[in-house]
Structure 1
Amino acid sequence: MNEVSLVRLYMLRAVYLIIAVGLGLVIWPGVLHHDKPWSLMGGVVNCMLAAFGALCALGVRYPLQMLPVLLWELSWKIIWTLVVVLPAWRSGTLDAGTMEIFVQCLAVIIIPIAMPWGYVAKKYLRQSGDRWSSAQKA
């Protein structure tokens, strides 16, 4: 019996494809052809986004195996929203730059819609973890 429906797999593939193509068009040209050195954080961000886009391209072929990549994306955006955006909004100090990034981050809503949450719970929460030592159980 299949754990994840074909429709859900295609939804995941669409999410991976949207991310891979989007980052491929926006980030990769700058990675391949930048005429001046990046700042420390500019380089970190661009290289992380390039790697994320490449891993999402792999997710088109292996949607379930690459779920941790989508979970990471969803997690950091939720954490950032809770610890940066929400306090700034509540204190009235939310600036235009933070708001612009927050609006861009709202695209993350496609991830929980496509995510096979039952599979995630079974695979990552209820399944036994890998062993910690070389000793085998008798």
Structure 2
Amino acid sequence: MARPEDAPLPLWRLYGLRAGYLLLAVGLGVQVWPGILADHSDWELMEGVVQCMLGAIGLLALLGLRYPVRMLPLLFFEMLWKALWLGFVAAPRLMAGQMDDGAWSTLSACLLVVVFPIVTPWRRVASLFITARGDRWR
């Protein structure tokens, strides 16, 4: 009997996932990589860490174009950090009237995350990451 995680996903779902990875790769490629490749001696330590992490995510998103299901944890990471930022950083600032240009810019970028839950194959996620047996510990 075929397991749910072995059933092929519809082509529209795979293309939707690939579109999400492409959005990540292109967006981060345009926004982050020019700064990484240029002179960045003025970056503070954490600015450099964040920019390099975002650059790595953009590169990993390219793998998602080829392996959209295997790279689902990358989309989970994107959905989670953006949801956390929206809930714990943006919402309090918005309610206190303390949004600056940088916060508004980040807010608009984070709102693009609405695409990811729509294209995510949630039954496959449940079968792969919730109900499937975990890898052995020893």
* TM-score, normalisation: structure 2: 0.86
Cα offsets for 1:109-132 (capped at 9, x unmatched): 111111111111111111111122
Matched, 1:111 2:116: yes
Instruction: Count how many residue pairs are aligned between Structure 1 and Structure 2.
Output: 133
Alignment of 1:91-110 (within 5 A): 91-110=96-115
Instruction: Tell me the SS of whatever aligns to 2:130.
Output: helix
Query: 1:8 is matched by which residue type in structure 2?
Result: R
What displacement does 1:35 show?
A: 5.2
Instruction: Tell me the SS of whatever aligns to 1:34.
Output: coil
The unaligned stretches of length 5 or more in structure 1 are none
2:53 & 2:93 partners in 1: Cα distance?
25
Cα offsets for 1:73-103 (capped at 9, x unmatched): 1001101111111222233333443222111
The unaligned stretches of length 5 or more in structure 2 are 1-5
2:89 & 2:41 partners in 1: Cα distance?
30
* TM-score, normalisation: structure 1: 0.86
1:117 & 1:34 partners in 2: Cα distance?
42
Alignment of 1:1-138 (within 5 A): 2-34=7-39, 36-132=41-137, 134=138
What displacement does 1:3 show?
A: 4.0
Change (3 A) 1:37 1:93: closer
Change (3 A) 1:71 1:35: closer
